[in-house]
Homo-oligomer: A and B are copies of this chain.
């Protein structure tokens, strides 16, 4: 079954800051989509959407036709319409996969799905990040180097205020000594969620071959087994005669 992927990006840094545009000339969404296309090939159809589009490009029709949504946002979280956030949440609970990336930890959709502050420690100092696999049999870790070495990155550190994840796949360390649960999975409703922290507008992380592999693995893992959306609903069944 072909996986229908939508890469969403607020696309503000790249359109307002020349230095960021130089790193991501096709936008962060473009770099991510390109990486996915290269690794998933025929197995996926990749599209993108951005904040400036009507309904941020995330109409009911578009979400209904998306198996896995990737979310990158940073400086414009509060410009995302609450109605669109509610719509995305509904689709996730109904089965759509969701990958939340880097600064997306503070997106409305992630906070709403987690129920916590999603706060963390950070420092933008071009530090070396090492991404260690702690669950090597997990599909998201398939074929990933131990560790992934990222020469320069923003530091994200603990305490990361999220619910205990279903699965902890990656832990990062930084040159400054901090650690971070950098790859974690959750199930909410019927939807699978993967949060992955490596990736920043100021560093070319989304061109890193190993990071691209993790994202491609994540898309495969988060894809629902059925394209049908089944939002969990309250029901009031009559008592049944099970022997009938």
A residues apposed to B, CB below 8 Å: 89, 93, 95, 112-117, 119-123, 125, 127-128, 130, 132-137, 139, 142, 146-147, 149, 151, 157-161, 163-164, 166-168, 171-179, 181, 186-192, 224-226, 230-240, 242-243
Contact = CB atoms under 8 A, between A and B. Distances in A.
B117 A115 contact: no
Contacts of A190: 136-137
Contacts of A232: 116-117, 119, 136, 159, 161
Contact of A132 (B149, B158, B186): B158
Q: Assembly of this chain: how many copies?
A: 4
B115 A188 contact: yes
Given A115-B113, A116-B188, A226-B142, A176 B136 contact: no
Given A117-B233, A179-B171, A134 B112 contact: no
Contact of A112 (B115, B127, B158, B159): B115
Given A132-B157, A133-B158, A173-B179, 20 more contacts: A89-B115, A112-B115, A113-B115, A117-B189, A121-B237, A123-B236, A134-B159, A134-B160, A134-B179, A136-B159, A136-B232, A137-B190, A137-B225, A142-B226, A146-B159, A161-B189, A164-B167, A166-B166, A171-B179, A173-B173
Contacts of A175: 177
A239 B149 contact: no
Nearest to A117: B232
